[in-house]
Amino acid sequence: MFGLDKKDTSLLWVVIALTMLAPFILNPFPTGSGMAQFNAGYPDLMQRFVIFGIFAIGFNILFGLTGYLSFGHAAFLGVGSYSAVWMFKLLSMNILPAIILSVAISGIFALVIGFVSLRRTGIYFSILTLAFAQMSFALAYSVLTPITNGETGLQVTLDDPRVLGVSATADGSIPVTNLFGLEMRAAYDLVVGPWTFTFSVGYYVCAIVMLLAFYLAIRIFRSPFGLMLRAIKSNQQRLNYTGLNPKPYTLAAFVISGMYAGLAGGLMAAMDPLAGAERMQWTASGEVVLMTILGGVGTLIGPVLGAGMIKYFENIFSKINDNVLHSWFSFLPDGIEDFIVLVIHPFVGKGWHLTLGLIFMLVVTFLPGGLVEGGQRIARALRKKKEDEPKSPSTEPAE
């Protein structure tokens, strides 16, 4: 189905199910309960899950298949965001032209940077991409202020011309982003007993785009082009001996990866029409590297899992403060309650990076293949346990 083999089709259906049912899956606890702190089913966070999943999927096409580690992919994320906001300012608030422009401009930008950076390999390539990203950040922050609006960030205003749309709504406010009239911020709340599930238009638009991006990534991984990229990662020198030039293939992978990042940046602007230079910082580039390694380099679903885990920690664990901890352990005697809060405090709130760092260390140490390897080990263990179970004796009929 979909031109995929049985295994890839099953994986795609699993991702479709998880994505479409995310409002239910990410809200396991009743709204008013103390554990509702861990619910992640609100639109803004769900949008971040899938948008950064797209970013990580694209990065994995470069790093996972070719082995080229880029430390500057945030530059394409930022370029995509700026392109989308400019489309909102000049054309209309429809997100489709903005996303198309984001992908196109990011692809051209990646072609230029890749043409220069891919003249080197290994750590030299990584440093070159980092240098280009930091130069892009510096240009966006100061030099190109008329285009990027500097440290304030680029955003839509009432003075924007918007050739194919209105500059202001009937009540005098700025129009919201939409897809042919369907507003991205529109949402519907489904109340089932003590649970509240929110279905957001913006989330499902991003989710459908992510599914298309995921499907395209599967086709790339299974194509002759993907096989050539794996050969480059395996032994580029031996590939040169065969008379094949790997440069066009690596450049194509770099451009495709940059277009994925631009798509993610365009979707970020589509959900919140604001673009800032901070999206180009080296920390954003490092984040996508962590996502890919944490989920599983070279796997299909790994980068999506890694992106979801990091964004979950960033948005959920960072909100747990001492008041929340005291409410959780209030049933304990005061001395014990204060001691437990004192022990947990460094790992939550502003210290969420410490918890994530410890998890990352454990994954890299014990699961070199990332979260995907952990899932595979569990599946193998369950399969082995099932095979080891004694079978009930069967009765043979008498002859």
The dihedral built from the CA positions of residue 144, 149, 154 and 160, taken in this order, carries a sign that is negative
Per residue in 145-183, pLDDT (tens digit) is 889 988 888 988 888 888 887 777 878 788 889 998 888
Per residue in 225-260, pLDDT (tens digit) is 999 999 998 888 888 888 888 899 999 999 999 999
Q: What's the pLDDT score for residue 237?
A: 82
More confident residue, 266 or 363: 266
Which residues are CB-contacts of 281 (< 8 A; sequence separation ≥ 6)?
74, 137
Q: What's the pLDDT score for residue 353?
A: 85
Torsion angles phi and psi, residue 275, rounded to 5: -130, 130
**Measured distance CA(151)–CA(174) in Å, rounded:** 22
Q: What's the pLDDT score for residue 395?
A: 52
**Measured distance CA(112)–CA(363) in Å, rounded:** 35
Q: What's the pLDDT score for residue 393?
A: 56
Give per-residue burial for 263-299: e unless 16+ CB within 10 Å, then b: bbbbbbbbbbbbbbbebbbeebbebbbbbbbbbbbbb
pLDDT at 368 over 60: yes
Q: What's the pLDDT score for residue 399?
A: 44
Decide the pairing of beta strands 178-179 and 195-200. Answer: unpaired
Give the pLDDT mean for 326-349: 86
Beta bridge partners of 197: 190
pLDDT at 394 over 60: no
Per residue in 5-48, pLDDT (tens digit) is 888 999 999 999 999 999 999 988 888 777 788 888 888 989 99
Q: What's the pLDDT score for residue 390?
A: 66
pLDDT band at residue 95 under the 50/70/90 scheme: very high
Looking at every residue in the chain, the average pLDDT score rounds to 88
More confident residue, 199 or 351: 199
pTM given for the model: 0.91
**Measured distance CA(135)–CA(131) in Å, rounded:** 6
3-state secondary structure the chain: CCCCCHHHHHHHHHHHHHHHCHHHHCCCCCCCCHHHHHCCCCHHHHHHHHHHHHHHHHHHHHHHHHCCCCCCCHHHHHHHHHHHHHHHHHCCCEHHHHHHHHHHHHHHHHHHHHHHHCCCCHHHHHHHHHHHHHHHHHHHHHHCHHHHCHHHCEECCCCCCCCCCCCCCCCCCCCCCEECCEECCCEEEEEECCEEEEEEHHHHHHHHHHHHHHHHHHHHHHCHHHHHHHHHHHHHHHHHHCCCCCHHHHHHHHHHHHHHHHHHHHHHHHHCCEECHHHHCHHHHHHHHHHHHHHCCCCCCHHHHHHHHHHHHHHCHHHCCHHHHHHHCCCCCHHHHHHHHHHHHHHCHHHHHHHHHHHHHHHHHHCCCHHHHHHHHHHHHHHHHHHHCCCCCCCCCCC
Q: Which of 39-43, 207-211, 241-245, 331-335 has the highest mean pLDDT?
A: 207-211
Q: Which residue shows structure tokens 């989330």? A: 203
CA 11 to chain centre: 18
